[in-house]
């Protein structure tokens, strides 16, 4: 028999053309309710993933190495948390079980961007990024601290963060928040911030509420710097109340600096609607100003911070010692234990808000959802583990405050667009579309809810069934996947 190679090739091509499209898919999510907040897509479809990208969304049957039946479940872009202080894999595991695929520390930022990015590269469960720390930059700029700062850096390099000498020197730096920056020191501050932006920072973290020494002149100069280079500022405003909101909105509107106001719920308290009105009025006039909130009635911070300087009860809405909860034991404080723990230093939970304020803030079109999640600790604020599932379970399913698509938009597309101006790579996140990053959360709409409480240790949310980060499963059938680190850095456009 004669072998006709041309006929064989023709037959092979015919056979190959008959195979289903994308037969080389790595993962196919089959039969889920697929929702994309940008296009409004909401249909029962199949999602095909190759490598770290979504390559097909179709009614047609898909063939993949791994076929996952997600019928009866909702398939959405992975949640993006703009405000996550917990930046370890211990914290990330709880975040992943809350559907989070990207967690960014944008309020306070990090001390050394290059070193921090290097420490997490190829070792992160979910995507990560941070802003440049204004607190660190202003301290570096103060001449009185320059020699001490060099010594601190040397000690950290030689002895590590756990060194007693490092702890002593760090305490000396803590008082820098009470010092004002002179006009002559402002250029040095800007230079330090520029260096951090060039190392990959996602804008500038400005916790001015923890900097009682920061003058209005200094803060306005910072906005001028950010406006010139169009670097977003993520700000924890001065004392709770409308005046702090007005200060930063005024600065942003006259300098053109992009502005994001963190946790507007704990910053405005009973005046939350007025605070959001101010943000929306600025947006209506074309200003790049946004805000966020978390779905809990308590805040959390360090008891030894300036927030608890004299007059704290009035600043925080006329609360008392009994409204303060010590994180490590769950106990409510008394005047005596307050003084003891403040001297010791540590984290507290502050019961200072009402449910109706949170409900009003979540219902507003302009607000995003962000956790303000704390570093991992057994008794940490439940927002560290349950923010996004709480919104979907409590405020969508149980209370009807939001429609499902609107809630998804607040947790995916809106935060992606907020960071897009500083990080163009965010165009591929917050969306469930062909070509988007395969950061995907799959949840059970009927059962999703947070389980962590103020009285118990952290616990995984219920109803998050699958989470993929850059095409890799980190949660599968509701369980953690061990030994995978697919998280990648999210860096700013100034990075060199």
**Residues 91-118 pLDDT 10s:** 999 999 999 999 999 999 998 899 999 9
Averaged pLDDT, 29-44: 98
Collapsing DSSP to helix, strand or coil, 355 comes out as helix
**Residues 231-255 pLDDT 10s:** 999 999 998 999 999 999 999 999 9
Closest to 395 in 3D by CA, of 374, 364, 438, 366? 364
Percentage above 70 pLDDT, the chain: 91
pLDDT at residue 337 greater than cutoff 90: yes
Averaged pLDDT, 380-403: 98
pLDDT category of residue 366 using cuts at 50, 70 and 90: very high
Average pLDDT, the chain: 92
Collapsing DSSP to helix, strand or coil, 490 comes out as coil
Helices (H) and strands (E) in the chain, counts: 17, 20
Q: Where are the alpha helices (H) located in 208-311, listed in sequence order?
A: 216-229, 242-255, 264-268, 272-284
Q: In this structure, are residues 465 and 479 in contact, taking their beta carbons and an 8 Å threshold?
A: no
> What pTM did the predictor assign?
0.92
* 305: DSSP letter: S
**Residues 310-332 pLDDT 10s:** 999 999 999 999 999 999 999 99
User: What are the residue boundaries of the structural domains of the chain, listed by start?
Assistant: 78-307+349-426, 308-348
Pairing of strands 41-50, 25-36: antiparallel
**pLDDT for position 9:** 42
Pairing of strands 259-261, 289-293: parallel
Q: How many CB atoms lie within 10 A of CB 243?
A: 10
Q: In this structure, are residues 484 and 472 in contact, taking their beta carbons and an 8 Å threshold?
A: yes
pLDDT at residue 11 greater than cutoff 50: no
**pLDDT for position 7:** 47
Instruction: Count CA atoms within 13 Å of residue 319 on its CB side.
Output: 24
Collapsing DSSP to helix, strand or coil, 48 comes out as strand
Q: Scanning the structure block, which residue is given the tokens 């702090």?
A: 244
Averaged pLDDT, 23-33: 93
CATH number of 78-307+349-426: 3.20.20.140
Calpha distance 366→360 (Å, rounded)? 12
Q: Is the torsion defined by CA of 338, 342, 343, 346 positive or negative? A: positive
């Amino acid at each position: 028999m004669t072998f006709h190679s041309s006929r064989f090739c023709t037959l092979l091509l015919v056979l190959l053309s008959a195979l289903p499209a994308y037969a080389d898919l790595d993962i196919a999510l089959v039969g889920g309710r697929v929702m994309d907040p940008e296009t409004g897509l909401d249909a029962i479809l199949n999602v095909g993933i190759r490598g770290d990208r979504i390559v097909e969304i179709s009614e047609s049957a898909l063939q993949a190495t791994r076929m996952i039946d997600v019928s009866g479940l909702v398939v959405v872009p992975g949640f993006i948390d703009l405000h996550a202080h917990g930046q370890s894999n211990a914290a990330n595991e709880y975040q992943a079980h809350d559907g989070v695929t990207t967690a960014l520390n944008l309020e306070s930022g990090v001390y050394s961007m290059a070193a921090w990015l290097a420490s997490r590269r190829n070792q992160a469960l979910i995507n990560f990024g941070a802003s440049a720390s204004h607190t660190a930059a202003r301290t570096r700029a103060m001449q009185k601290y320059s020699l001490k700062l060099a010594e601190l850096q040397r000690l950290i390099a030689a002895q590590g963060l756990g060194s007693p000498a490092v702890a002593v020197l760090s305490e000396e730096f803590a008082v820098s928040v009470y010092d004002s920056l002179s006009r002559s020191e402002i250029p040095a501050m800007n230079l330090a911030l520029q260096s951090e932006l060039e190392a990959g920072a996602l804008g500038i973290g400005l916790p001015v509420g923890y900097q009682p020494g920061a003058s209005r002149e200094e803060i306005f100069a910072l906005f001028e710097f950010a406006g010139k280079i169009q670097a977003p500022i993520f700000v924890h405003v001065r004392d709770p109340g409308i005046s702090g909101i007005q200060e930063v909105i005024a600065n942003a509107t006259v300098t053109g600096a992009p502005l994001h106001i963190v946790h507007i719920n704990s910053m405005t308290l009973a005046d939350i609607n007025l605070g959001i009105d101010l943000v929306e009025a600025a947006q209506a006039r074309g200003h790049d100003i946004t805000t966020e909130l978390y779905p809990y009635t308590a805040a959390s911070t360090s008891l030894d911070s300036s927030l608890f300087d004299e007059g704290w009860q009035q600043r925080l809405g006329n609360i008392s010692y009994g409204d303060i909860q010590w994180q490590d034991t769950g106990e409510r404080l008394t005047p005596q234990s307050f003084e003891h723990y403040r001297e010791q230093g540590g984290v507290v939970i502050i019961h200072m808000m009402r449910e109706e304020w949170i409900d009003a803030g979540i219902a507003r079109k302009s607000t995003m959802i962000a956790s303000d999640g704390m570093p991992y600790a057994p008794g940490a604020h439940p927002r560290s583990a349950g923010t996004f599932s709480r919104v979907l379970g409590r405020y969508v399913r149980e209370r009807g405050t939001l429609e499902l698509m609107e809630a998804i938009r607040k947790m995916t597309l809106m935060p992606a667009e907020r960071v897009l101006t500083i990080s163009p790579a965010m165009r591929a996140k917050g969306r469930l579309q062909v070509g988007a990053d395969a950061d995907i959360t799959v949840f059970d709409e009927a059962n999703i809810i947070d389980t962590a409480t103020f009285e118990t240790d952290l616990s995984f949310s219920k109803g998050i069934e699958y989470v993929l980060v850059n095409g890799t499963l980190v949660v599968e059938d509701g369980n953690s996947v061990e030994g995978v680190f697919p998280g990648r850095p999210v860096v700013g456009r100034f990075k060199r």
